[in-house]
Every structure is written in C-alpha cells, then in structure tokens.
Structure 1
Amino acid sequence: MDGAKAVAISVTAGVTAVGQEELDFLNVSKDLWDSKVSGKPPKGKASWPFALSLPGETLAANKPKAKAESYRLPPTFTERASPVYIDYKLVVTVRRGAFKVNQILTTSIFYTPLSRAEPPSELRQAAYNAGAPLVGPAGDPSGWKVLPPFQFTGSLFNSRNVTVECTAAIASPLSFATGSPIPLFVKFTSDDEQTLDLLCTASSMRFALFRERLVGSHATVEGASSGSSNTFREVMGTAYFWPSQDGAVAQHGTRQLQGEIDVRKSLRPTFVFPRFSLRYHLSMYPCQAPGYVAANPDAPLFTETVTIHTLNPIGVTPRSYAPPGYAQSLEGNYNNVAGYLENGNQRFYHHGGFQ
C-alpha cells in the first residue's frame, strides 16, 4: 500500500470476435478506499468488503458509429474454438500518485442472467404435480403448438414410392428452462401400413434441438439468414420417442409417437446482443430406416424457434415421461443434414474481422 492514493474495484465486460478489438459494454466500479477521504493508507494487510450490483440492461451498438440501444446483459460465453467470446472480469485497481504506475489485478468471472420460462398450460402443470400422463393436443389444445401437416415421400425396398403425412406438436409456450424436457407428439398417416410399421418407430425418428450462433452485424436481426458464413449451427440434443398412449385406440393408417428432448443444464440461455446472439430451434427431418430412401433426406420438414431460459416457472417442476428402458439416443451427425459441412464450423477468419 506504500504510495497508494486509492483502491477501486470494478466489473467490466466485452464482446471479442476473432480478429477484432474487444467491444466493451459494461463498467461498474466502486471506490474501496481513497486517501482524500480516509487519510493515510493502512499499514500491512488491509481488506474491504464490497458488493457490486450489475444492471439488467446495458447500452450497446452494432457498429462503432451506430446509435447505441438497450439490450439485456448477455451471459458469459467462452467455449473453446469459438469465433467470438463474451467475458466478464473483476478488476482491482490500486491508484498511485503522479508518474507512478497503477497496479491492476484482473480475474474472469462467470455470469449468467436469470430468466424464467413461461408457465405451461394448467393441464400440463396438473400432470407434472400429480405424476399423471400428459394430455395430448386433442385434449389440451392450449398446451400445444400443433404445426401444419406436412408430407415426405420416398422409395420402399426399391419397389414402390410411398408418401407419409405427418403432424407434429410441441409443448406450448415454446419457452423452456435448462435441465428440463421439451415434450413432443408426432402423428403419422398413410394408406400403406407396412410403411407406417417401418418408419414410425423410435429408432427411425430424426428430430433435434439446434443452436445458432450469429456473429457480426446481423446478430440482432430477427430472422437473419442461417446461410450466412457468420452463422454457426450445432446439434444440442436429439429427441427420443415411444408409442403414445394418448387417445386410447390406434386407428388404421395412423400411428402416434410421444417424445422428449432434454435441454441440457449446461446450455447457455437464448440472448440477442450486438455482434453475437444465441438462438435455438427445433427441426424434424424425414424418417430413416433400412429399406427406405427419402426423396429429400437433408431437407427439414419444419423448423420452429424456441427460447431457452435458466429457470423453470415458479411452482413448476417438469418431469420426464419416457417409459423404463427408453434412453436418450446418442447425438447423431446432423451437420450435413442441416446443410453445413462437418468442417464448416472450423473456419479461420482474416484479421479484417466480421462485416
């Protein structure tokens, strides 16, 4: 403390893209000791308790000279080999007199803003609380988003072409917490019973949760093109299915599966911020089974955006409905299916930065 004039502590944060300077968006500081107020510095060791409150929002701009807008503070994001990072730091500064160098001690801290998923329908909440089966879309229309029916075609055993109509339902609202399942129902209809028996099984389903990292000036644009070279897409979880018991008797020409996707506890929540945003969506692809060749196996049948939060709704504890013996399948390689080469996320960037 010899020669010290003041001691201050601060929390700073910034976004850093490969090849670019850091974009600072937060600086919250507090003086712990000031010689002008407290006189001479204490001798020997000294300690000061402190507390810093971070704001829920901050001002940031997409470009250096653009107008700053208000955004929620994003979480720490420091994944290895990522083209962009968000880093929060705790900084202690010992200020000294004129012509003397200040002493600065810095350490990274891990920050996650808390947000709650929207509450599910009353019937789904009641099922969770009672440990009862989920009521499907027919009995709980407000608890599910039923997507428009779609069809996929293919060749069966190289002998005939077949068409299957499919209707998917996702638990509504499309807002889920990390560490919780996303409930699903999928209904198949076809005149060909053999095709239904072959395709409408747990092992043939291709249904996944994708994460999109949007980097650059388009990061805050709603509906920004996923084909951009600065958009990185990865599978964060695959669904597992089992025969549905909802609705009782199976009808001729119809099959229904119930399923889930686990939202891993380690996932970072959805956020939108200049230079870097994180979004999630669900996609289903044509079924895959021995003897069946889909006409367009790499084209998604649908894509639906979901929002990932850090906390469940107050008073709601989602549960898994997978029957005993059903385990989550290992995540397959959806990179080519999604239209991205397997090496597409291993690009290197020129020092000019992102445009």
Structure 2
Amino acid sequence: MNALRRASRPTTRRASTGPSPSTPTTAGPSSSQADAADLPVYSGNERTEHVFTLGKDDSEDGAWAKLTLKSNARSAKSTPSYSEGDEIVGSFLLSSAKGDGIKTISVTLTGKIVTGAAREEVFTFLKHETIMWQKTTSPALVPGNTLFTFTIDLPSTVQIKDAEYSLPESFLERHVRASVSYEIVLRVARGWLRSDNEIKERIRYSPVSYAPPPSPLRVQAYRERTRLLGPEIDPQGWVMTPTVDVSGMLFRTRPVGVRLKMHIARPTSYARGTPIPLLLTISSTDPQALALLSAPASPVVILRRAIRYKIASSSPTRTADWETTDADLVRAALWPLAGAPVAGTRTVVLEGEIVLPKGLLASSTMDRFEVSVRNFSKSRRLVSVSNLPVQYAVVILAFDATGFVPDASESRSSPLLVQPVQITTKPPIDSPHAMEYTPASHVPLPLPTRHGVAKDDEDYYTESPAVDNIIRAGFT
C-alpha cells in the first residue's frame, strides 16, 4: 500500500517501513489560531477548506484541537472530496494547555469495504499512518498553540495478495449491504489510564478513467452536430447483439412471434453523464404484432447494475455466502428512426439512447469488490468467486405492450438481450463532447416495477457524488 507522505513544512519524506515523526511549527502563547495563510501554498485551482474540532462545544472558538483539510468539494459543508492523483493536504492545530500527557499525534488514511457490523465483514484494503509528533523522538511541546502540517499523496493502487488493484470509488446506497468508505483519523494518544482523542471524518474518493475514442465517423458527427451514421455506413462504430426470438399471445386470441436485435455504440465503454447510442431492429410476419411491439413505448431497454458481495457466515463450519443486489438505474428513450421503411414492411428500426447518470460508479477491480461486467444469469444463485463484482449491462426486458402477453418461459424481469458495458469517470481525450439526440416528444419512460420496488423512486438509487449526506452508518 504505497503512499507518499510529507509531514510539516520543513520536512519532506516518502513512506517507508516505519513512519517518521514530523517537526511541528510552534506559535507563542499570544498567537492566534492558524488560518488559511498558515497552510501550505497550493497550486492549481482554489480548494475548499473543511474544519473539524475537539473542545468543550466542538466549536472553533472553544476548540483545543482543530483539523483542517483542503479538498475539491464544492462547499465546506460537504464531505471532503478527492480524485485519483490528488494530495490530501491539511493541518492540525493543538492547544498545549489541553494537550498534556500526549504520547503521539498521528493522522491515518484508511479505505474499507464493509458488508456488515461484524469484524469479519470489514475488509481494510488501505491503511496509511503518518506520525506527526512522538514524545520519545520529537521536540517537546511548549505552552500555546502548535501547528502541524501534513500531506498524504493518494495512491492509485494497492497491493493485495500479490496482485495490484486500483482504488475503488466511495460507494454507499441504502438498498445495498456492501459499501466502500475512506476515512481520515486524527489521533491524539496518551499513556495508560488516560483516554485518547480522535477526530474521525469520512472523505470521498473517485478514480480517474477515460473512455476510449469513438469511431472516426461518430467523432465527425459529434463535431459537426449531425445525425449518427448507422452500422451499414459506420460498421466500426457499432456492436450487434445476437438475434432473439420472442413469442406470446396477442389479445388472448392468437400466438405471435417477433425477432429482435440491438446495435450499441462501439467501443462499449462510456463516460458517466454521456449517452449510450443504440438501435433496435424488430421484425415480424404479423403486421398487427409488429405495429404494437415496435411502438417506442413497448421495448424496455434499461441500464442494469448487479452487485455481489460476501456475507460472513454465523456458523464456524460454513463458508461465507455471496449475496447479490441488482437495480435498474435508467431507461432508454426510443423513437422511430428517420428514413425507416414505410408501413407494410416486416421490419421496424427504432433509434434510442441511454443517458448515463453523472453519479454512476466507475468500473474498477478490487479484491472482494469489483466494478466490472459479466453476463447476467437468469437465475439468481450464490456462487463462490474471489472478487465482488459491480456489473453494468444494457438489458432488454420483455415487451411492455397492452394486449401482448409473453410466453410463460419469458419472465418480465428476465433479460431478452444483455450487452455488458464499462463505465468511466471521464470522456475520451481530444474527442468532441458526445451529443444527445432524444427528441422532446420521446423522453424516457419510467422504469418498470420489479420485486415491489419502483426503480425510479429517488430513494432507491443514490448517485455516489451525493453520498456525503448518507454515509453516516458508523461502521469503522
């Protein structure tokens, strides 16, 4: 778990096998508390300052200990936010009048995967401690205010079981038992028979990943703000799924069948906050069935996510179980393709797109926690694997059309077609911004209800950038 450490302004150090004490900056008894001018000079954009205190009323005026962090968050009231490659820069102001008997002062960054309250359900994948002051090796604390400054360089990867993994993104949702959390802990440790003091605050971490560039013809369409070209003209820009046959009863009078296939934009890796272009081709020899099932409201195309995580067993003789939680996050908007075949033909083509929420988790891999993709099984069963996947896929469910009842073998919640996709945090480098083409008259319909929960309920899906108001579970 390599992370760089710089503690206090006069000294710059790298992480080693044992932490080294930092040298404090001391102010006299009449000195006022440190303000922004006392912190290290920052380069780049202005950062937001967050202040956390310990004292009689935990206010800044009555505090004997004050931890200050600077982050990329939009406001001081939000959780401190950091991205891959950032430094966690901060300071700690100590009033020695209340700091007597201190043995060590340290700041620790931790990253954890939590699936429950039991000890075996908390997996610490990152722990980096910086000793800012130690009684046995550091200069003695003097009366008055003492200021310590520190810098922790966030690592991009961690080493687990002889393998290197990218750090996962902060994650917490109320309907998912697993979570990923990061914390900064400022600890003032004292000797025996004396209680320690801590300032413990959660921070938010986001990796940085870029989507690959689209096909040259799609880049040209985005740049010139023209329509996307189909797979006949731009074969490099599309992936075609296998064709699936769908059968059922129409108006309870006769059996009908349709054929369905999907084209989805290539490469199948997309930045959150951007659209996923797609085409649906629906064919049938029954004109009435084709007209009904090719109406833009009939096909149900969604972005589905499944999270699998390990749950500790209550029995010492049983191995841990794996639990799966899935959610439908957003539905595609569909509309008739301009220039499509006229009525009387046996095929209808619908154009569409899924606009990805800006707060989707990015794809990454971690021991016991993985943001990746795999084919969705129609049966929900626990399997024993080494990682915990958070999977994304574009899924086509059973048609939702009045008068059409699919065969009993085709569950309404089971996918007809599945196309795995990857989610990144950033769009392609040096590519124009992806356009959205959804007409105002064809906005996405609400998500279907599954398992008794409406997936468009705002309480069901929480975007990870809003996690600061929810991450209060208290697991440490």
TM category (shorter chain) comes to 0.7 to 0.9
Confirm or deny that 1:108 pairs with 2:220: no
Counterpart CA distance in 1 for 2:415 and 2:341 is 30
Q: From 115, 125, 143, give the equivalent of 1:25.
A: 125
**Corresponding residue number in structure 1 for 2:419:** 304
Confirm or deny that 1:129 pairs with 2:223: yes
- For residue 145 of structure 2, give the secondary structure of its aligned residue in structure 1: coil
- The structural deviation recorded for 1:3 is 3.2
Q: From 110, 131, 136, give the equivalent of 1:12.
A: 110
- For residue 49 of structure 1, give the secondary structure of its aligned residue in structure 2: strand
**Corresponding residue number in structure 1 for 2:213:** 119
Counterpart CA distance in 2 for 1:246 and 1:49 is 65
Counterpart CA distance in 1 for 2:213 and 2:242 is 24
Confirm or deny that 1:256 pairs with 2:349: yes
- The structural deviation recorded for 1:310 is 1.2
Quick one: which amino acid aligns to residue 48 of structure 1?
F
Counterpart CA distance in 2 for 1:27 and 1:124 is 44
Q: From 101, 104, 109, give the equivalent of 1:3.
A: 101
Count of aligned positions: 322
Counterpart CA distance in 2 for 1:112 and 1:280 is 18
Gaps of 5+ in 2: 1-98, 312-320, 370-388, 454-476
Counterpart CA distance in 2 for 1:264 and 1:335 is 23
Whether the aligned pair in 2 keeps the contact of 1:168 and 1:186 (CA below 8 Å) is yes
Tell me which structure has the larger Cα radius of gyration.
2
> What are the Cα deviations for residues 8-47 of structure 1, in whole angstroms up to 9, with x where unaligned?
2221111121253221111123233445665122433333
Moved more, 244-253 or 263-272: 244-253
> What are the Cα deviations for residues 107-161 of structure 1, in whole angstroms up to 9, with x where unaligned?
1111111111222111112111211111111111111111122211122222222
Confirm or deny that 1:270 pairs with 2:363: yes
Q: From 152, 159, 178, give the equivalent of 2:246.
A: 152
Counterpart CA distance in 2 for 1:233 and 1:244 is 31
Q: From 129, 136, 140, give the equivalent of 1:40.
A: 140
- For residue 47 of structure 1, give the secondary structure of its aligned residue in structure 2: strand
Counterpart CA distance in 2 for 1:38 and 1:18 is 40
Decide whether aligned partners of structure 1 residues 96 and 203 sit closer, same or farther in structure 2, where only a CA change above 3 A counts.
same
Q: From 390, 404, 414, give the equivalent of 1:292.
A: 404
Quick one: which amino acid aligns to residue 131 of structure 1?
R
Counterpart CA distance in 1 for 2:411 and 2:173 is 31
- The structural deviation recorded for 1:234 is 0.7
- For residue 117 of structure 1, give the secondary structure of its aligned residue in structure 2: coil
**Corresponding residue number in structure 2 for 1:341:** none
Gaps of 5+ in 1: 61-66, 218-227, 338-355
1 or 2 for the larger relative contact order (CA 8 Å, sep ≥6)? Answer: 1
Counterpart CA distance in 2 for 1:13 and 1:80 is 19
Confirm or deny that 1:282 pairs with 2:380: no
Whether the aligned pair in 2 keeps the contact of 1:269 and 1:308 (CA below 8 Å) is yes
Decide whether aligned partners of structure 1 residues 84 and 180 sit closer, same or farther in structure 2, where only a CA change above 3 A counts.
same
Counterparts of residues 1-355 of structure 1 (less than 5 Å): 1-21=99-119, 22-34=122-134, 39-60=139-160, 67=161, 69-96=163-190, 100-216=194-310, 230-245=323-338, 252-276=345-369, 277-295=389-407, 296-298=410-412, 299-316=414-431, 317-335=433-451
Counterpart CA distance in 1 for 2:333 and 2:167 is 34
- The structural deviation recorded for 1:190 is 1.7
- For residue 325 of structure 1, give the secondary structure of its aligned residue in structure 2: helix
> What are the Cα deviations for residues 158-202 of structure 1, in whole angstroms up to 9, with x where unaligned?
222221111201111111111111111011122222221111011
- The structural deviation recorded for 1:100 is 4.4
- The structural deviation recorded for 1:4 is 3.0
Quick one: which amino acid aligns to residue 288 of structure 1?
D
Whether the aligned pair in 2 keeps the contact of 1:10 and 1:92 (CA below 8 Å) is yes
> What are the Cα deviations for residues 220-254 of structure 1, in whole angstroms up to 9, with x where unaligned?
xxxxxxxx861111101111100112667778211
Quick one: which amino acid aligns to residue 426 of structure 2?
L
Decide whether aligned partners of structure 1 residues 229 and 25 sit closer, same or farther in structure 2, where only a CA change above 3 A counts.
closer
Counterpart CA distance in 1 for 2:196 and 2:329 is 45
- For residue 48 of structure 1, give the secondary structure of its aligned residue in structure 2: strand
**Corresponding residue number in structure 2 for 1:225:** none
- For residue 405 of structure 2, give the secondary structure of its aligned residue in structure 1: strand
> What are the Cα deviations for residues 283-335 of structure 1, in whole angstroms up to 9, with x where unaligned?
11232212222222434211121111111111331121011322121122144
Counterpart CA distance in 2 for 1:199 and 1:247 is 16
Quick one: which amino acid aligns to residue 93 of structure 1?
R
Whether the aligned pair in 2 keeps the contact of 1:288 and 1:294 (CA below 8 Å) is no
Counterpart CA distance in 2 for 1:191 and 1:255 is 12
Sequence identity percentage: 31
- For residue 248 of structure 2, give the secondary structure of its aligned residue in structure 1: strand
Whether the aligned pair in 2 keeps the contact of 1:164 and 1:188 (CA below 8 Å) is yes
Whether the aligned pair in 2 keeps the contact of 1:117 and 1:175 (CA below 8 Å) is yes
Decide whether aligned partners of structure 1 residues 46 and 202 sit closer, same or farther in structure 2, where only a CA change above 3 A counts.
farther
Whether the aligned pair in 1 keeps the contact of 2:341 and 2:348 (CA below 8 Å) is no
RMSD over equivalenced CA pairs, Å: 2.5
Decide whether aligned partners of structure 1 residues 268 and 254 sit closer, same or farther in structure 2, where only a CA change above 3 A counts.
same
Decide whether aligned partners of structure 1 residues 204 and 320 sit closer, same or farther in structure 2, where only a CA change above 3 A counts.
same
